[in-house]
Amino acid sequence: MLRIVTAVVARDLRLAMRRQADIVSALFFFIIVVSLFPLGIGPEPDLLRKLAPGVLWVAALLATMLSLPRLFADDHRDGTLEQLALAPHPLGLVVTGKVIAHWLVSGLPLAVLAPVLGLQFDLSTEALVVLTASILIGTPALSGIGGIGAALTLGLRGGGVLLSLLVLPLYIPVLIFGAGAVDATVSGLGGEAHLSLLAALTLAALGFAPWAAAAALRIALE
């Protein structure tokens, strides 16, 4: 059972490594969006420190969503997806593998970049640690929930915009607890409660979302 998941992860990672420009452009999107806010709002450190968690988290949501349409689209186009659906393994496990691979190339780099960008917003070391942890813990849920949206919009006209309509409302709890963890740390309340809830969301999303996405894929492939 684990073998199929690791096989899909390895395959998707290899494919992603051959098209590194895609990964890099999503990362630069993240950096640019985050850097736009100080330009729009003004450089006062107090204000920026207050806005930083929200801005970084919203940018992370958008950056994750940017790469979602490709989660299944390429495999759908060349017929791989149908072969995977015909394989004897449960499709949910295949999707789990794809979601993990998606997180490794989209969520993980965001967590690596976030503390650097947090410095631009004058966050304290403690807040930077919590910010990194919250993005690390929260982004797998984004990949999981996003997988449902990507499967539902597979092969549709205007799939990208539609995907954001479907997925962004469902991302709200992750945004609230992710940014809330950093907020709570900055205000001295401690972010552990938020991080625990975030971890709960991620576990639930990784446990259930791939199966919902697999059902959506079967509908799309009919």
Q: Token pair for residue 53?
A: 């968690």
CB of 75 to other proteins, least distance (A): 18
CB of 197 to other proteins, least distance (A): 8
Q: How far is CA 8 from CA 76, 81, 99, in A?
A: 15, 12, 10
CB of 145 to other proteins, least distance (A): 8
Contacts with other proteins, residue ranges (CB under 8 A): 148, 152-153, 156-159, 162, 165-166, 168-170, 172-173, 176-177, 180, 183-184, 197, 201, 208, 212, 215-216, 219-220, 222
CB of 19 to other proteins, least distance (A): 27
CB of 156 to other proteins, least distance (A): 5
Q: Are 140 and 199 in contact (CB under 8 A)?
A: no
Looking at beta carbons only, is 75 or 183 nearer to other proteins? 183
Q: Which of 177, 28, 199, 191 is nearest to 124 (CA)?
A: 191
Q: d(Cα 45, Cα 142) in Å, to the nearest integer? A: 30
Q: Are 124 and 46 in contact (CB under 8 A)?
A: no
Looking at beta carbons only, is 101 or 209 nearer to other proteins? 209
Looking at beta carbons only, is 104 or 170 nearer to other proteins? 170
Looking at beta carbons only, is 105 or 131 nearer to other proteins? 131
Task: Map tokens 């907020």 to a residue.
Answer: 183
Which residues are CB-neighbours of 31 under 8 A, at least 6 positions away?
113, 117
- CA 217: distance to chain centroid? 19
CB of 39 to other proteins, least distance (A): 25
Looking at beta carbons only, is 27 or 141 nearer to other proteins? 141
CA dihedral 71, 26, 176, 94 (to 10 degrees): 20
Looking at beta carbons only, is 119 or 165 nearer to other proteins? 165
